[in-house]
Structure 1
């Protein structure tokens, strides 16, 4: 049985879809009943509503598990403490394998949410568990946030330069790769940078979107203060806002480039999804 902790987000949902398609026995720890209902609609039989901050809840969900997959929530100030609790509980339960979804370039100390993941990677190494770490690049699906403005205004706003080169991955590819890792022991024991086959600026992405929509879409540099006002309205924490701003500054100055998709191709057994193919699929999903 595979236990997934942190299953309701951008990584967890495609992973669960892939695992349920393969009739994998799953148990999911989730924080609320609405999430549990959604997970059951995806085919998950066993969901447990609990608190990630509770030693007892984390311990209980792991009973009888062979593998643990931990996907941390984004921009949480206590991310390392939660992750440490999950790793320590897995040690106590003597699970066979631990899969951790980290981040591309966790070595970036100025990006606090990346640095916390690197600290957990270190803790995982010192745990003596059999582990696998995946470090995915930026998600193609992130454009969901901007999609309404793309459709209504013909603009694709991001809070950094539209010229910055970015490597992006389709989360469907990521979910499939993680499912392969969890189910195939040959992939255990590695740390894998997972990224797509293309490095594109948002100007180039907007050009592809324009061609597929049949109308002009322009990538624009969104003022960071405008984004901060939006984040405050959405009740982001000070920690989350600070680290997101730092991330955008890094993207503005350096981008998120120089990825190599060879590892992802090897795990998938096929080429990574191209950005144009993703956009075609995304547009179709929005029209159904």
Structure 2
């Protein structure tokens, strides 16, 4: 058994590789071309093999996935052609695919969520053995800012089901290695609904709403990525991103990690 992980050099890919390495599972890390140091970084996490492949190149993807028994599919973040990229993975002939989607992909008001829903439709229409994971935003995204002001371009009172990335990785490792998860879509939400204002209290900082127009001026992103995230922030402003922890609790066999515990764990790490 060799499990391939696309997007292996990103934070989600690294976490999934580490979780599989803990189980002693051979892994093949796919990294994008032009990422210096990524090959050695994923090897340090326990990847058995590392290969470079551009997901936009179907022949490269097919060669990189040849012989793999399963693939954990992570697309590049907020990519305008995610359905096409994942289609190349699905066409590569790997018998089992676990797709890293997002909580509530069916919301058309968030374009990159909607794109993931299109990928899920493609999985439904395929002959593959598939599972879909739909995680909320990671609790790890909440970090102490340099000026002790946690700024977001949406309401600081909007509620989220922030989930621990390590819990998501543990679930990924389970569904990749255990039977009984075929044709399932799993919502992965944290154990509580918290706002950015709540998180700021836990971090001991102040929360502040950034004007969305200032965010547009400040962000280095351009084109689809900027516009898609701007649309997401507008949705967050009205609705947040809420979910239910019952599924992840059952998959983990324990309660999912609380945001306070994730933040405390991060603060204990040496600089």
- Using the size of structure 1 for normalisation, the TM-score is 0.90
Distance in 1 between residues matched to 2:157 and 2:23, nearest whole Å: 40
Q: After the TM superposition, which of the residue ranges 195-204 and 135-144 deviates more from structure 2? A: 135-144
CA offset at residue 117 of structure 1?
A: 0.6
What does 1:84-95 align with in structure 2 at a 5 Å threshold? 84-89=87-92, 93=93, 95=94
SS at match of 1:138: coil
What does 1:2-151 align with in structure 2 at a 5 Å threshold? 2-32=3-33, 33-89=36-92, 93=93, 95-144=94-143, 147=144, 149=145
Contact 1:28 1:48 in 2 (8 A): yes
Query: Which blocks of at least 5 consecutive residues in structure 2 are unaligned?
Result: none
CA offset at residue 71 of structure 1?
A: 0.7
Distance in 2 between residues matched to 1:243 and 1:39, nearest whole Å: 29
CA offset at residue 26 of structure 1?
A: 0.7
Query: Which blocks of at least 5 consecutive residues in structure 1 are unaligned?
Result: 211-216
* CA deviation map 1:145-188 (0-9, x unaligned): xx3x2xx3221111111111111101010001100110111223
- Using the size of structure 2 for normalisation, the TM-score is 0.95
Distance in 1 between residues matched to 2:158 and 2:41, nearest whole Å: 36
Contact 2:52 2:64 in 1 (8 A): no
Alignment match, 1:214: none
1:280 matched to 2:268? The reply is: no
1:224 matched to 2:215? The reply is: no
Contact 1:164 1:254 in 2 (8 A): yes
CA offset at residue 225 of structure 1?
A: 2.3
Distance in 2 between residues matched to 1:153 and 1:237, nearest whole Å: 26
Q: After the TM superposition, which of the residue ranges 165-174 and 223-232 deviates more from structure 2? A: 223-232
Distance in 2 between residues matched to 1:19 and 1:128, nearest whole Å: 25
1:153 matched to 2:152? The reply is: no
RMSD over aligned Cα atoms: 1.3
SS at match of 2:198: helix
* CA deviation map 1:53-76 (0-9, x unaligned): 111110011211111110111111
Contact 2:161 2:244 in 1 (8 A): no
SS at match of 1:153: coil
CA offset at residue 226 of structure 1?
A: 2.4
Contact 2:5 2:73 in 1 (8 A): yes
SS at match of 1:7: coil
SS at match of 1:131: strand
Distance in 1 between residues matched to 2:50 and 2:199, nearest whole Å: 38
Give the structure with the larger helix fraction.
Answer: 1
CA offset at residue 267 of structure 1?
A: 0.9
SS at match of 1:192: strand
